[in-house]
Amino acid sequence: MMKIVILDGYTLNPGDLNWEPITSLGETEIYDRTPQELILDRVRDADVILTNKTVLNKETIDVLPHLKFIAVTATGFNNIDTVAARERGIAVSNARDYSTHSVAQHTIALMLELIQRSTDHNASVMNGDWGNQEDFCYRLSPSIELADKNMGIIGFGKIGQRVAGIAQAFGMNILVHRQNTSHPEPPGVRYVSLDTLFKESDVISLHLPLTKDNQGFVDKTYLSLMKPGSYLINTSRGPLINESDLFTALKNEQIAGAGLDVLTIEPPKEGNPLIGMKNCLITPHQAWATRESRNRLMHIVADNIKAFAAGKPINVVN
């Protein structure tokens, strides 16, 4: 029987899901979180390791004699030395396409909150401000109508495509920058260069994986191309944005606002200048984490383990 060790299971299952799809596959030890100094003790006899963000570096991988398979309970796998795993003949599989609807939903929620400022208006009403108005309505900030505005999407995988579909329902025009333009443009979508996308978009949303080539690419150069009344949304990976440059753009009102579900360092360190800015909306990397999405993820990870045990691993990244 396989020994399975789950190093940081809390983010996947804080108690509202059943671990049975995985525990039925072998002897399983589940830890909510694992500090770096306890990793070796906990996985020394493991055949299979599940990790979300816990780091598995070369030094750890090289001293685990029983390890045969690493299953990532996420799509990103930059916390694993995949080269070291490959050299040891250890397959690494990730999970894909489990959070498409949830992340797209959160992206649109950030966009609408930035534009409508519903939370601010609700707080004002609860504070008694409405009753003190001379008119039947009032506005704390300007809002725009999305119809005929341009939604710029960078990265056009399943999440980007889903966001485009929802934005089209609002009557928005879709501008897309993607690496692979061999596929024909979908109806209502126009493939454009990065420069054109930043110049013409009223809302820009990032939906691409983090690589060594795109780290910090949203910097002062591209931010300076954006319209003064435009918005930037990131539900992808925090390091895609140069946070110092974004802070300057927001402070100087070069752009109207930003909605971020991810930051360069998570959890953020004290003193992150973006936290507390009136025109920067930040949520705690929760776009993916609906119950439906996490349940889907649980079953994808279980399928990855089953496929490996059957000698036909799937979703292998190394």
| Active site amino acids | 237, 266, 285
Q: Give long-range contacts, CB 8 A cutoff, 24+ apart: 163-171.
A: 163/104, 163/107, 163/108, 163/205, 163/207, 164/188, 164/189, 166/104, 166/108, 167/108, 167/203, 170/146, 171/146, 171/147
CB 188 within 8 A of CB 241: no
CA distance 28 to 247: 45
Q: Which residue has the tokens 């397959």?
A: 91
- The residue type of 22 is I
CA distance 290 to 75: 15
Q: Which residue has the tokens 């930040």?
A: 282
CB 171 within 8 A of CB 165: no
* Closest by Cα among 137, 80, 144 to 115: 144
